[in-house]
Amino acid sequence: MSVIRLENAPSIIGYAAVVGRRESEGPLSDDFDMHDSKEKFGMDTWEKAESEMQRVALNLALAKAKLTGKELGAIFAGDLMNQCIGSSYAAECSHRPFFGLYGACSTFAEGSVLGSLLVERGVFAKCAVLASSHFCTAERQFRYPLEYGGQRTPTSQRTATAAGAFILSAEGEGPYVREVLPGTIVDMGITDINNMGAAMAPAAYDTLTKYFEETGKKPEDFDLIVTGDLGKEGHGIICDFMKNAGYDMSRVYNDCGLMLYSTQTQDMHAGGSGCGCSAAVMAGHIMKRFEKGSLRDMLYIATGALMSPASLQQGRSIPGIAHLVRISAERSGE
Amino acid sequence: MNVDKQTYKKYVASRAPASPLVKDMFLAFVTGGAICAFAEGLYNFYLFIKIEEETVRTLVPVTIVFLASLSTGLGVFDSLAKFAGAGTLVPITGFSNAVISPALDDKSEGLVMGVGAKMFTISGPVIVYGVISSVIYGVIYWLMGVLL
């Protein structure tokens, strides 16, 4: 797969991020539109709470774009729950064409790739991209019960309680989705669910080096390169490997999983993860930076660890994926 | 990536920070010991209030299981276990928590398929293999009695 350049770059005309308690206590606290300290969003189950969080994120993004749900050509949404129910229940009352996606933590970029391609090719005038994850739903499904008394390893990441939404439009004042590079699956044999950063880093490396080789660009050509939740381990691994390949990313690189929480004061081990992690960082913090003008051109590479509880129990290794989206304040130029 | 899977695995293992074993073992020793000392205190207390020794032997584990279940329900057990580690896992408190925590989580799926079916997802294997090994030991014990 090669880099797809979007000549009529779609504009991100609305965005919103909704988070839980710990996320609202983190360093990006001021950048989120809403949070619920109880993390139930007025619902009686965690699954309903996640859907509600995603629904609120969509409505906030629509309101900011001064649109109603009816004006959306389609919704691209995903989460971590079995059969993607977080998203389908969230989109239920919108009555718009709906595409449920599963890309684990890469879902927000996956949706942004698909949504921006279809908007650019004129299939939809406007569409919404959504992703969410909830610590309590993910923990139940992938790990242990919430009140189970266990210890986590230093390399484990915490699933973020967060949802993010983008509204993409053929017309708008930016920021623009200029280029996309859909990722391929890379599996380097990592089987440890408590070290997902190591499982996903090879996929991020694969996508990033393909992008730089093909476009001839260098990391320093961008204001920021951000990966979607590789955490502390993955961050270190990707820096090492990129350096060996001749790309020094140290000055412009950060990771959503490390940005969402304070690793010093919040006891989050290797950082955040989950579809909602990079979705909320992008639709909250990063978009605010574009608004302020402190960010002009950036690469967003969201990585996903595509395992299931069954595949882990069967001892299979974790396949990783990384989709790249270039977002820029300018619609054209280099 | 221009490394093979084995090299990559070795590299990942070499850079991953290890769990603080000495600290973990120390905390497990102190908290596990404290729980056992507390149980011993309970034992003596029950004897002191003139409960029969045979009943006390049942009453002490029942009390500890109850306290662990209660603290799980109140949401404090997991915070304690985060520091205590094996200190709360190994005594009967760990077993109690392993039964109650899924029961609490899965009540949203109803009393039958939720609480009833999923209550033993963590403790189930312990019960199954505990019973099987006790049968095996029983047979060995019986054989030794017959042969020796």
Q: pLDDT digits over A75-127, tens only?
A: 999 999 999 999 999 999 899 999 999 999 999 999 999 999 999 999 999 99
Q: Which residue type does B6 have? A: Q
Q: Which residue has 């850079």 as its token pair?
A: B15
Give the long-range contacts of residues B61-69, CB within 8 A, separation 24 or more.
B61/B92, B64/B35, B64/B39, B64/B91, B64/B92, B64/B93, B64/B96, B65/B92, B65/B93, B65/B95, B65/B96, B66/B96, B67/B93, B68/B92, B68/B93, B68/B94, B68/B96, B68/B97, B68/B100, B69/B96, B69/B97, B69/B99, B69/B100
Q: Of A286, A316, A315, A307, which is closest to residue A298 (Cα–Cα)? A: A286
Cross-strand bridge partners of residue A84? none
Query: Using 50, 70 and 90 to split pLDDT, how confident is the model at A1?
Result: low
Question: Using a CB-CB distance cutoff of 8 angstroms, which residues of chain A are in contact with residue B122?
Answer: 144-145, 148
User: Is any Cβ of chain B less than 8 angstroms from the Cβ of A97?
Assistant: no
Let me know if A12 is exposed, middle or buried by CB neighbors in 10 A (0-12, 13-18, 19+). buried
Is B77 within 8 Å of A149 when comparing Cβ atoms?
yes
pLDDT in tens, B105-139: 999 999 999 999 999 999 999 999 999 999 999 99
Does the pLDDT value for residue A225 go beyond 90?
Answer: yes
Question: Using a CB-CB distance cutoff of 8 angstroms, which residues of chain A are in contact with residue B25?
Answer: none
How close is the nearest chain A Cα to the Cα of B64, in Å? 16
Interface TM-score (ipTM) > 0.85: yes
Query: Using 50, 70 and 90 to split pLDDT, how confident is the model at A264?
Result: confident
Whole-number pLDDT of residue A180: 97
**Six token digits for residue A190:** 């990592």
User: Is any Cβ of chain A less than 8 angstroms from the Cβ of B12?
Assistant: yes
Query: From CA A176, how far away is CA A52, in angstroms rounded?
Result: 28
Full-model pTM: 0.93
Is B75 within 8 Å of A151 when comparing Cβ atoms?
no
Does the pLDDT value for residue A143 go beyond 90?
Answer: no
Q: Are B28 and B87 in contact (CB under 8 A)?
A: yes
Query: From CA A114, how far away is CA B83, in angstroms rounded?
Result: 45
Q: Who contacts A268 (Cβ-Cβ below 8 Å, separation ≥6)? A: A22, A157, A158, A261, A262
Is A237 within 8 Å of B16 when comparing Cβ atoms?
no
CATH 3.40.47.40 residue ranges of chain A are 4-169, 176-328
Pairing of strands A158-159, A272-273: parallel
Residue of A nearest to B94 (CA): A149
**Six token digits for residue A195:** 């070290």
Whole-number pLDDT of residue B19: 87
Nearest to A151 among B11, B18, B82 (CB): B82
Residue of A nearest to B110 (CA): A45
Query: From CA A226, how far away is CA A213, in angstroms rounded?
Result: 18
Question: Using a CB-CB distance cutoff of 8 angstroms, which residues of chain A are in contact with residue B11?
Answer: 237
The correct answer on CATH 3.40.220.10 for the domain covering A4-169 is: no
How close is the nearest chain B Cα to the Cα of A172, in Å? 39
A72, A228, B3, B97 from A325: Cα distances, Å: 21, 11, 26, 44
**What is the distance of C-alpha A291 from the center of its chain?**
19
The correct answer on CATH 3.40.50.1580 for the domain covering A176-328 is: no
pLDDT in tens, B69-100: 999 999 999 999 988 999 999 999 999 999 99
Whole-number pLDDT of residue A304: 96
Phi, psi for residue A189 in degrees, rounded to 5:
85, 10
Q: Which residue has 């820096």 as its token pair?
A: A239
Nearest to A147 among B6, B15, B101 (CB): B101
Mean pLDDT of A269-282: 94
Q: Are A145 and A298 in contact (CB under 8 A)?
A: no
pLDDT in tens, B32-71: 999 999 999 999 999 999 999 999 999 999 999 999 999 9
Question: Using a CB-CB distance cutoff of 8 angstroms, which residues of chain A are in contact with residue B89?
Answer: 149-150
User: Is any Cβ of chain B less than 8 angstroms from the Cβ of A45?
Assistant: yes
User: Is any Cβ of chain A less than 8 angstroms from the Cβ of B74?
Assistant: no
Question: Using a CB-CB distance cutoff of 8 angstroms, which residues of chain B are in contact with residue A205?
Answer: 1
Whole-number pLDDT of residue A283: 97
Write down the mean pLDDT value for chain A.
95
Whole-number pLDDT of residue A333: 79
Which 206-245 residues of chain A touch chain B by CB within 8 A?
Answer: 206, 233, 236-237, 241
Question: Using a CB-CB distance cutoff of 8 angstroms, which residues of chain B are in contact with residue A45?
Answer: 108
Residue of A nearest to B97 (CA): A148
Question: Using a CB-CB distance cutoff of 8 angstroms, which residues of chain B are in contact with residue A189?
Answer: 5-6, 8-9
Query: Using 50, 70 and 90 to split pLDDT, how confident is the model at B26?
Result: very high
Q: Who contacts A84 (Cβ-Cβ below 8 Å, separation ≥6)? A: A77, A78, A100, A101, A102
Which 150-169 residues of chain A touch chain B by CB within 8 A?
Answer: 150-151, 153-155
pLDDT in tens, A286-306: 999 999 999 999 999 999 999
Nearest to B17 among A44, A151, A154 (CB): A154
Query: From CA A80, how far away is CA A90, in angstroms rounded?
Result: 14
Is A147 within 8 Å of B104 when comparing Cβ atoms?
yes
Which 110-149 residues of chain A touch chain B by CB within 8 A?
Answer: 140, 144-149
Query: From CA A195, how far away is CA A232, in angstroms rounded?
Result: 10
Q: Are A101 and A107 in contact (CB under 8 A)?
A: yes
Q: Of A65, A1, A6, which is closest to residue A33 (Cα–Cα)? A: A65
Mean pLDDT of A43-56: 96
User: Is any Cβ of chain A less than 8 angstroms from the Cβ of B14?
Assistant: no
